[in-house]
Structure 1
Amino acid sequence: MKLIIDADACPREVLAYCVALCETEGIDLITIASFNHHVQSPHHIVVGNASQEADIKIVNLTESGNIVVTQDWGLAAMVLGKGAFALSPSGREYRQETMDFLLEEREMKAKFRRAGHHTKGPKKRQKQDNVQFKESLEQMILHIKQQE
């Protein structure tokens, strides 16, 4: 099992928790970000800043049974297709059965913005998001270990 983090937009608290948890649990941790980001992690991969470059690297490294932490719904869909698990930094588990809805929502919002309208950005991160992330990640790891 590997934990792979899309570190371009990963909150510091989430990254720090993942580093500590992986060290304690003996799980391989890989962080990936463009050279525009300075990430402190035991095994960090730097990619260029071209569009989707980090996502492509993450998909290429992902194997069945891995966990990928990302805010990107498109990336989550791709890793789910490879038999991996996907989790948002707020602790939301991405599931294959809801992915079509999320991708359709993403496309509608993009279309709305291309028409010159504005959409709301993400909500400000709360302490509860960190708690929810920790609980979700721990449950996911336990679930994967039980399947092995």
Structure 2
Amino acid sequence: MIYVDADACPVKAEVEQVATRHKVSVKLVCNGGIRPSANPLVELVVVDAGPDVADMWIAERAGPGDVVITTDIPLAAKVVEAGAQVLKPNGEPLTQANIGNALATRDLMYDLRAADPFRQGGGKGFAKSDRSRFLNALDQALRR
């Protein structure tokens, strides 16, 4: 099973493409506003609005053999602990080996933004190479 934290996911179409090729079911979990797919392998799960409701839904279900697509580091930590594989939309895997560092970096950046209200977001944009790297990473994850 592939679980997608779908509200702001830029690779939903790529997930569907790879999942169809491998004949793997997908659950797109969101608070609404996403069109359902005609693909019988893809199910749209609309959860109640609220902070982290979609994340909690995924965390309660994902486990060994599943792949979770998310940029949410706390969600990734929960599902990695449960035995699921995690990929960010740029193809970067989050694993037992690097999730602690990712959590620490997230917390540090949160503190820096809180200390300087004029600090603007940032981060690099989503590039075509990220999409390609994601496709390869998801294909490999499903082969495992």
Same fold (TM over 0.5): yes
Unaligned runs of 5+ in 1: 144-148
Answer yes or no: is 1:23 the counterpart of 2:20.
yes
Residues in 2 aligned to 1:119 and 1:105: alpha-carbon distance in whole angstroms: 17
Which residue identity lines up with residue 40 of structure 1 in the other structure? P
Answer yes or no: is 1:110 the counterpart of 2:110.
yes
Which residue identity lines up with residue 138 of structure 2 in the other structure? L
User: Residue 96 of structure 1: SS of its match in structure 2?
Assistant: coil
User: Residue 43 of structure 1: SS of its match in structure 2?
Assistant: strand
TM norm structure 1: 0.88
Residues in 1 aligned to 2:86 and 2:143: alpha-carbon distance in whole angstroms: 15
Which residue identity lines up with residue 17 of structure 1 in the other structure? E
Unaligned runs of 5+ in 2: none
Residues in 1 aligned to 2:122 and 2:31: alpha-carbon distance in whole angstroms: 22
Which residue identity lines up with residue 127 of structure 1 in the other structure? K
1:9/1:71 contact within 8 Å kept: no
User: Residue 116 of structure 2: SS of its match in structure 1?
Assistant: coil
TM norm structure 2: 0.90
Which residue identity lines up with residue 104 of structure 2 in the other structure? E
1:32/1:46 contact within 8 Å kept: yes
Which residue identity lines up with residue 51 of structure 2 in the other structure? S
Shift of 1:75: 0.8
Shift of 1:4: 0.6
Residues in 2 aligned to 1:119 and 1:102: alpha-carbon distance in whole angstroms: 20
CA RMSD of aligned residues (A): 1.3
Q: How does 1:1-148 map to 2 (within 5 A)?
A: 2-11=1-10, 14-35=11-32, 37-41=33-37, 42-117=42-117, 118-143=119-144
Shift of 1:113: 1.5
Aligned-pair identity (%): 28
Question: Aligned pairs, how many?
Answer: 139
Residues in 2 aligned to 1:48 and 1:140: alpha-carbon distance in whole angstroms: 30
